Structure 1
């Protein structure tokens, strides 16, 4: 009989205490225009009494944050998001809007800012949790009574309209849903997309005229989940895979077939005449047998959809294992030249190993970043050194930027010598140069999932 494997070891080992620290030491010079918070979400261990096979997707949510202001690192905080289960475990009262513990899922995947509010996100039809500026839990949110059901882990902000777009899936229905959240934080559009096979959808993409829907070769299987007590997704290439282009003016979705695969994350998408170009991190196989191991490596690929002929051309952009793709937020939905990603040795393949296969190998976390120049078909790699591991990068445009890569890259990097983490600020143009600044945190930030730079409201001088 196999033993329960705990993936929360090594780089993923949980943090035991909530910490607050002020006036953090900084090496180098923080750009004074970086006024705001860099937040990152991720799983932080499991309930001690939970005897199920463990995987990272089921961990408690912990948000880590650094507050920058006027060239100083004012504070660092890490806080557990008080879902019903976390509040009960900590002996606290449930927060407003929390669902019963039996139906509770930790909002451990992403953290974003929108409409001057902060939200911790998870997919699967569950509501986001609102956080205060100091990342304390306010409660589950329904966007002021306008959210019909749950939300998504990877919404896309349109830099032109200020609208937040998301594609959601629910565990109890054969549909996806396209949601549009206004700049003021209310859902102003909710359109159902019938899908009879219950696809698992982690991300989406956005263009000026389309929401890009991914209906790929992974399906939700609740009976299978109950039998094995693992993540409720199974590989099913027999039903094929397809890309949906949903017009943002309200017309019906048009579907285009692609080779069976799975995509956790998109880099960006844009329109080129009658073609739609979609850059993704693509896995040839994922969730085989239901377990979260891909038996394949993630590569950076491009789908070019010809909306006239109906054909999709698939092109390999980079064959190195990589994840967590990012672009300058100012080009989301438009043409992009540059992209950034974290180098891995099958990071997501090892996120939750099948029961009995032992702890996560050290190479399962990223130790370098890639800057892609897609126009020149070239790339640059920045290494962080043996024993380091880097998270997802966030791009922050420089004030008055004239070029797409004129800005800053923010990323948490583990320092093995200190046994703690740093917030590293890089110049996106001088990608391999010395960091502009390194903020030294008092504790380790475990390897985790997604985060955001959330700027402060512009001050009136």
Structure 2
């Protein structure tokens, strides 16, 4: 259903995350017979899906980029052809606002006291399922960045099937970035909140039910966003960034980064009990996204995009403070956790390049991976992804691809070509939007040769706003 296009929130202050390349689109469409520059490889078969915020109604108060309604954009490739589709995630909040034809929630920058409902762990904010997409057992799960209900989607039609309860075994909430192990069929997750237990960790088995869940003790409420897994362990985080609870009691959202506290990483056997977790300390930081983690003998290695200044000293208007908090400034970083000695080693992989939203070959999650594919973050007031970077773990080298002047892309998951075995034997796929022209395309890039540029560009009939995370679902998984 078409809704009025949102271009400004109720604050009356022009918000860059509602304008230009971020401006929401109002129509849900399906389009084939698309114009192609180059040739779509016939060995690229599957569907590329990307989630992100797409506000339908003016917010009650000031709009934050994380507040927008979840909308999934998808490109289905089959035997050299492509079809585009976009659909909202039909959450409970979406249904409530559809019935009233107006916004019913305030966002993260406002007092949530009068909001209709929130998640089950005490955050009375709008769960819009706008953050990540994770494939598991034939469906794609749309998740929310602050822990909410995972919504199950059909990967081709994008129909919202409903809240995923894992055969009625999930209690509580679900974090933004669960980890799927293709070899075992398991799905690893945690949830957190402002009340005890501050952190719970669980495992969904290959049969689709939650088979393991433990409560873990933290010193207080934290804001973990991602986790890692290896063949035998899970890695959870206790980072020194947390919500100011006194401000929360006053209805204000304020983050505190305590440089006097270490970053802590909890390593627990995959199906371990709370008493088996081991905590490793490191320099204070924040981590939005884990690249991958794996075991080497008695060591666990974890590569991340590390943020050293997650809570800058925002000055000026509330909007300017929001922009300063949203700004990504991350570097590729490596931790080594020695299970024999309990010591942590840490170092930069790339100290110079601001890159984020990492992807790897999904078949390598939890095992040593050679390549990581990140987006390059432009030095600008808002988050703009101006290119792609490929990191090589074996040689230490990197390749880059620039989308072009005033052209900005999306997270680009690795899409293996049919029958591929190597981690770069395939393609990277990304939505790319031209800021000046207001048009979008899909770029297909050879993962082994980023510097060659796209092998094909599929022009789209509708602009795709910049958004959050993406996934690739192979044709054999669709079957």
Instruction: Report the TM range for the smaller structure's normalisation.
Output: 0.7 to 0.9
SS of 1:32's equivalent? coil
Give me the whole-angstrom Cα distance separating, in 1, the residues matched to 2:312 and 2:249. 16
The 1:342/1:296 distance shift into structure 2, 3 A limit, reads closer
Q: Which one of 292, 299, 304 corresponds to residue 268 of structure 1?
A: 292
SS of 1:180's equivalent? strand
The residue number in structure 2 matching 1:143 is 166
SS of 1:91's equivalent? helix
Would you identify which runs of 4 or more consecutive aligned residues in structure 1 move more than 6 Å?
none
The 1:340/1:148 distance shift into structure 2, 3 A limit, reads same
* Worse-matched range after superposition: 55-64 or 234-243: 234-243
**In the alignment, does 2:423 pair up with 1:423?**
no
Give me the whole-angstrom Cα distance separating, in 2, the residues matched to 1:336 and 1:377. 13
User: 8 Å contact 1:342–1:369 — kept in the other structure?
Assistant: yes
1:27-57 residue CA offsets vs partner (Å, 9 max, x unmatched):
2222334333211111113641511x32111
Structure 1 unaligned regions, length at least 5: 94-99, 348-359
User: 8 Å contact 1:114–1:183 — kept in the other structure?
Assistant: no
Q: CA RMSD in A?
A: 2.5
The residue number in structure 1 matching 2:138 is 116
Give me the whole-angstrom Cα distance separating, in 2, the residues matched to 1:46 and 1:240. 41
SS of 2:183's equivalent? coil
**In the alignment, does 2:204 pair up with 1:181?**
yes
Q: Which one of 231, 256, 261 corresponds to residue 234 of structure 1?
A: 256
Give me the whole-angstrom Cα distance separating, in 2, the residues matched to 1:318 and 1:271. 21
User: 8 Å contact 2:32–2:84 — kept in the other structure?
Assistant: yes
Displacement of 1:270 in angstroms is 1.1
User: 8 Å contact 1:421–1:444 — kept in the other structure?
Assistant: yes
**In the alignment, does 2:384 pair up with 1:365?**
yes
User: 8 Å contact 1:4–1:54 — kept in the other structure?
Assistant: no
The 1:212/1:222 distance shift into structure 2, 3 A limit, reads same
The residue number in structure 2 matching 1:65 is 74
SS of 1:266's equivalent? strand
1:82-97 matches, cutoff 5 A: 82-91=90-99
The 1:43/1:418 distance shift into structure 2, 3 A limit, reads same
Displacement of 1:288 in angstroms is 4.6
**In the alignment, does 2:388 pair up with 1:332?**
no
SS of 1:432's equivalent? helix
Q: Which one of 166, 183, 187 corresponds to residue 189 of structure 2?
A: 166
Give me the whole-angstrom Cα distance separating, in 2, the residues matched to 1:458 and 1:85. 30
The 1:171/1:44 distance shift into structure 2, 3 A limit, reads farther
The 1:402/1:79 distance shift into structure 2, 3 A limit, reads closer
The residue number in structure 1 matching 2:28 is 18
The residue number in structure 2 matching 1:30 is 40
The residue number in structure 2 matching 1:253 is 277
**In the alignment, does 2:376 pair up with 1:376?**
no
The residue number in structure 2 matching 1:353 is none
**In the alignment, does 2:137 pair up with 1:102?**
no
Displacement of 1:8 in angstroms is 1.9
- Structure-1-length-normalised TM-score: 0.87
Displacement of 1:116 in angstroms is 1.0
> How many residues align structurally?
436
User: 8 Å contact 1:268–1:332 — kept in the other structure?
Assistant: yes
SS of 2:260's equivalent? helix
User: 8 Å contact 1:62–1:78 — kept in the other structure?
Assistant: yes
The 1:226/1:441 distance shift into structure 2, 3 A limit, reads farther
Structure 2 unaligned regions, length at least 5: 1-10, 102-114, 119-125, 315-320
The 1:307/1:59 distance shift into structure 2, 3 A limit, reads same
User: 8 Å contact 1:112–1:454 — kept in the other structure?
Assistant: no
Q: Which one of 331, 343, 352 corresponds to residue 376 of structure 2?
A: 343
Give me the whole-angstrom Cα distance separating, in 1, the residues matched to 2:74 and 2:379. 27
* Worse-matched range after superposition: 63-72 or 80-89: 80-89
SS of 1:439's equivalent? strand
1:164-183 residue CA offsets vs partner (Å, 9 max, x unmatched):
11222234334222221223
The residue number in structure 1 matching 2:86 is 78
**In the alignment, does 2:407 pair up with 1:388?**
yes
